[in-house]
Structures are given as structure tokens and as C-alpha cells.
Amino acid sequence: MTIEIALVLGIALVAVLLFATEKLRIDAVALLVLSGLAILALVNPEQALSGFSNQATITVAAMFVLAAGLQNSGALSGIGRLLSQARSPFLFLLTLFGVLAVVAPFVNNTAVVAVFMPIVMTATASIGMSASKALIPLSYVSQMAGVCTLVGTSTNLLVNAMAKDLGHPGFTMFEFTPLGVICFFAGCFYLLTLGRWLLPRTRATELVEHYELGKYITELRVMPDSSLIGSSVGEAKLGEEFGVYVLELIRGDEKVWSPRSQVLEEGDVLIARGDWSKLDELKNRTGLEINSEFQLRQRTLEEGTQQVLTEVMIAPRSRLIGGSLGLLDRRWQHNATVLAVHRRGEVLRKQLKEVRLNVGDVLLMLMPESEMPALRQDTNVIVLSQRDHDRPMGWRAPFALATMILVIATSALGWAPISITSLIGAVAMTLAGCLEADEVYDAIDWRIIILLAGLLPLGVAMSQSGAAEFVVANTLGLVSGFGPLVVLAVLYLMALLLTEFMSNAAAAVILTPVGMSTAKLMGVDPTPFLIAVTFAASTSFATPVGYQTNTMVYSAGGYRFVDFIKVGLPLNLIFWVLGMIFIPIFWPF
């Protein structure tokens, strides 16, 4: 092992650990990787910055804009009505899968789930179906459909770009379609049969009139006329009578020890947890008030202004991620009062102003009904309530659809690269008013762009330093004597395992050079190995953290971690078996 190999593998290992532990944001990790490679002279300056001008990076950015144009123009506005017409859960899922089969192969699947999730939650409530029976299938099927084309996921584009840099001719627009279609139908059949039975039925997570998505954390201030003054939390029996549990007691600027035994005083702040209806009942009956410091940009409202209670989820690419509620006012553009926070899998025990927002956090807010349309347009959050489906479509909706079709068709026919056609399509949608110029920047998930640009040089370093060959010789090389099919199976499983616990793009970057080196070692065509890496890295089912769409539905659906293992692991195994059968048929060694 040379010093260069040791340094490259060390950087790759640190990146894997940081991605898996989520101690830093994924884009920050990518920039650290890029900086480390450049400082240690493992890549030259041109190679270090090549990711920012790479066709994959440009294409992914443009596809985000195209997806936003489709959504903003109203081209997808009839989907909610279509889904709500289903007369049974089975027909609902069948209709949902059919719609995703048309949309997801050409629109980034994170954007697809962000658009469809509120629609699905509302439609399931209208037909009496548990939302938890539909949200995991929404995430899984969007991934299965996305892998069918070159532009369906950023991972496909990334592997294609890296493969070209390493001497492979690359993939066509519909190169993945034969295997993708087989896996799609097999996956849908599984989700409509055994998978549907394995999915939990969590009615408490359905979107209903009172917006009760789960247990909320809020702050309640003891007012001068409160009936709780002079008694302790324990004596008031708030848990027994209201189902509300006091986690902390703040008096002045300090937390009070043993909050249940303390006699309450005027001005005390209770950090309490419970269903929102129970918290509201407690507030009204005992003279408590929501702590008023969480009113964001609260302007004076005209008398008679109708206010609505709404829930919003922090979106995967939100600029609010990492910020606290105390700082939210600087980034917030809406007239709203944040009443409470719901975080899946964690009980918050700090003042809300100190809570750092994460992907999937749900904020319960009170805001004027007139501002709801603007809130639904905010890409930083996902409104978990019924959307406006009656937006007039006008000419921009068919224009957006036609633009997307031309972008895909022109590239598929080989008339121009997808990077150029998608960029032209994004400009056309912007000029046509499908989205405003400022919305273009909000539509792009810049963390994904930085992730791709920062990690591409790692693939170059692994290839030119010999690190990829070293990994192959000490892993896949040990089973090379059993033939290329066994090696293919092991490589697929390696990619599958890495993807479940870290960024799928990072897994693809690390294993694409490994796949190329494996083919070189065995003297066979590298295409089957690249296909295996692409499919394994683009379809993560067994954990809620393996893919962004899984994380989104994990919070909204009230799922447990084990639900993803129970439903997703068999699906991963189905895809693995299908891959081992059909990859050598479609792409011979």
C-alpha cells in the first residue's frame, strides 16, 4: 500500500463515518473531502474543481428547476382529484403507482414525494384509508420508478459521469429501463400483496380536521389568573387528567430542578408534551398561554381576519435546517405564530427557541388563511394539509409538460446531451413564467449540487492513486475465483449496505471506481458492475435514513424504524435477486 492509497482510503473512511453519523451536513462533508484531496495534492486544482462543471452537476440542477416549473404551473394539479376518486385502498395504491410510473422517471424523486405527500395524506383521509399504508409505498415506488431512466435520480447521473471520466462510454437515456421496469412491477406487486399486509395501520397519524400528527412539544406560560398557581405539577395531575406531561419548568432564565414537585408561580414556563387537542384543552381550562416569543413576523391583523391552524414539515433542502426557532424570524417570510414542534423519535427537553430544526420536524402554526397560498409555495417547508387543487392551469401547464417532454425526447434521440437540453428547458420555463427568477434558486437543492461537485474528485483520486484496485484486491478479488456473477452479487450487496447508512451519492462515488477496477481485474465488461452500483445506490428501502424520501415519510407517517426493516428488507432482497438474474442477460460480461 502506497502513501497515496492510504491517504485516499483514509479520506474515504472519514467521509463514510461522517455521512453515517450525520455529525455534519452532507454538503459540508463533501467540501471537507474536496479540501483534503486538494491540500494533500491527491488531485490537481483542475480535477478538484471539475465537479462544479461536470455534466451531472449541471443536469441535476436543471432538473430541479424543471420539476419546480411543472409543480408551479399547475401541471400536476389534477392528481389529487384522481387519487381521491379511488373507491378502495387497493385501487388507491394502484392509481398512485400508475401516476408515479409516469412522473417519477423524469422528475427528481425527492421533489415528487414533496409534492405528492400532502396530496396522498388528504386523499387517504377522504377514503377512510390509513395514511401509513400509503406513505412508505409513495417513497419506495418513487425510487423504483426513478431508477428507470438516466435522469430519474441524481445517482444515475453521477455514476454515468464518473464512468465516462474513467473511460466508459456512458449510458443512454433509457439504458436502465429494461431492468428498471421489471423491478418496478415486481416491487409494486410486493407492495400490493405481502408488503401491504406488513405496513402498519397507524390511524393516529392521518391528516384529520384537527391536524393531530403526533405528540407536540410546546411552551405554556402561567398567567396571573391561572388555577395552577400555588399547586405543583404533580398535585394538578396534568398527566392523568389531560394526558399532558411537563418535561421541564423554566423560572426566569433557569431550569428548575424536579419540575413535578415545584409549586407553580406566575410567569413560570412549562415545557409540555401531548396531543395538540389536549394541550389546547389544558391551556383553556387552567389559565395558561402559549409562550408569545414564538410569534414570527406577527403583523397587526385586520379585525375579522380568518386564521387557520396548519402543520408544516421542514423539507430536505430547506434553508431552515440547522437554525433555531429563536433565529427563525430572520429567515421567515410569513405572518405566523409557531405553537409547537413535533420531532419523530425524540423528546425535546429544551426551550423551543433553542431547538435546532432538522429534516422532518413538524411545526404547528397559526396564520391568516389569506397567506396559506404563499406558504404552500415556500420550498423550505411542506404543508401537511389540503393543497389548492383549483389553481387555474392556463397555457403554462401544457407548456411545462411539453417542455419536459422535449427535454427528454431530444436527449433520448441523441440530438443533444441531457445537460444542454435540461438547461435550455429550465431557461424556457423561467422565461414563460412557470416560475419566477428568484424561485429558480429556491428550487435547486444546493446541498445536493455541492455534494455531487465535492465528491466527484474523490472518484478521480481513488482511480488514479490505485486505491480502487487495492480495495478490489482485498475484497472482491477474494471471491473472483468463483466467477463474475458471484463478484457482481457481492458488489451489489456492498453498495446496498453502504447506501442504507450513508448518502447514496457517496456510496456511488466510492464504488463506481471499484466496479471499473473489478472489471479490469477480471478482464470483463464493466457495464454490469456499474449497473449493479447504480441500482443498489438508487433504491434504499431498509432504513428511514438511507434515502431522503424515506426520512420525509418516516416523520409524517408515524412509523417506527423497524417498519422500514420489516417492509423494506424483503424488497431489497427482491431487487438483488432480480439484478443477479437480469443484469447478465441485458448487459453480458
The pLDDT of residue 209 is above 50: no
Q: Does residue 105 carry a pLDDT above 80?
A: yes
329-364 pLDDT tens trace: 555 667 777 777 777 655 566 666 677 787 777 787
Lowest mean pLDDT among 376-380, 402-406, 461-465, 565-569: 376-380
Residue-averaged pLDDT of the chain = 81
pLDDT attached to residue 204: 39
Decide which of 20 and 330 is more confident: 20
- DSSP collapsed to 3 states, 168-216: CCCCCCCCCHHHHHHHHHHHHHHHHCHHHHHCCCCHHHCCCCCCCCCCE
Break the chain into its structural domains and give their ranges. 3-204+401-586, 216-290, 295-383
CA proximity to 578, closest of 524, 520, 525, 539? 539
Helix (H) or strand (E) holding 470: helix 467-474
Spelled out in words, what is the top-level CATH class assigned to the domain 216-290?
alpha beta
And the C-alpha cell for 325?
426557532
Tell me the pLDDT tens digit for each residue of 404-454.
889 988 988 888 888 899 999 999 999 988 888 877 887 787 888 888 888
Report which of 509, 499, 453, 460 is spatially closest to residue 61, judged by C-alpha positions. Answer: 453
pLDDT at 4 over 50: yes
Determine the distance from the C-alpha atom of residue 13 to the mean position of all C-alpha atoms in its chain, rounded to a whole number.
Answer: 24
pLDDT at residue 208 is higher than 50: no
Q: Which CATH number fits domain 295-383: 3.30.70.1450, 3.60.20.10, 3.40.50.300, 3.40.50.150?
A: 3.30.70.1450
Tens of pLDDT, residue by residue over 171-191, are 988 999 999 999 999 999 999
| Rounded average pLDDT over 47-55 | 87
Close Cβ partners of 523 (under 8 Å, ≥ 6 residues apart): none
| CB 159, CB 515: distance < 8 Å | no
Identify the weakest region by mean pLDDT among 77-91, 288-302, 317-331, 402-416. Answer: 288-302
The mean pLDDT of 536-562, rounded to a whole number, is 81
Distance CA(11)–CA(460), nearest Å, equals 13
Three-state helix/strand/coil letters over 245-263: EEEEEEECCEECCCHHHCE
Identify whether the C-beta of residue 161 lies closer than 8 Å to the C-beta of residue 54: yes
Mean pLDDT score, 192-220: 65
When mean pLDDT is compared over 74-83, 181-190, 199-208, 369-378, the highest value belongs to: 181-190
The yes-or-no verdict on residue 532 having pLDDT over 90 is: yes
Percent of the chain past pLDDT 90, that is, above it, reads: 20
Asked if 117 and 135 count as a contact pair (C-beta separation under 8 A), the reply is yes
User: Residue 392, class by beta-carbon neighbours within 10 Å (0-12 exposed, 13-18 middle, 19+ buried)?
Assistant: exposed
Secondary element (H or E) of residue 269: strand 269-274
The string of pLDDT tens digits covering residues 107-161 is 877 778 877 877 787 778 767 788 888 899 999 999 999 999 988 888 888 899 8
With H, G, I as helix, E, B as strand and everything else as coil, classify residue 267.
Answer: coil
What pLDDT sits at residue 183? 95
Is it true that 216-290 and 295-383 share their CATH fold?
A: yes
State yes or no: pLDDT of 305 exceeds 80.
Answer: no
Other beta carbons within 10 Å of 194: 13
Q: Which of 207, 213, 212 is nearest to 122 (CA)?
A: 207
* pLDDT score of 498 more than 80: yes
Dihedral sign for Cα 403, 406, 412, 416, please. Answer: negative
Ranges 51-65, 180-194, 246-260, 316-330, most confident = 180-194
Strands 216-222 and 307-314: unpaired
Q: Which letter does DSSP use for residue 300 in this model?
A: P
Alpha-carbon distances of 455 from 35, 112, 155, rounded to whole Å: 10, 25, 12
pLDDT bracket for residue 535 (50, 70, 90): very high
Is 203's pLDDT higher than 70? no
Tell me, yes or no, if the pTM score tops 0.85: no
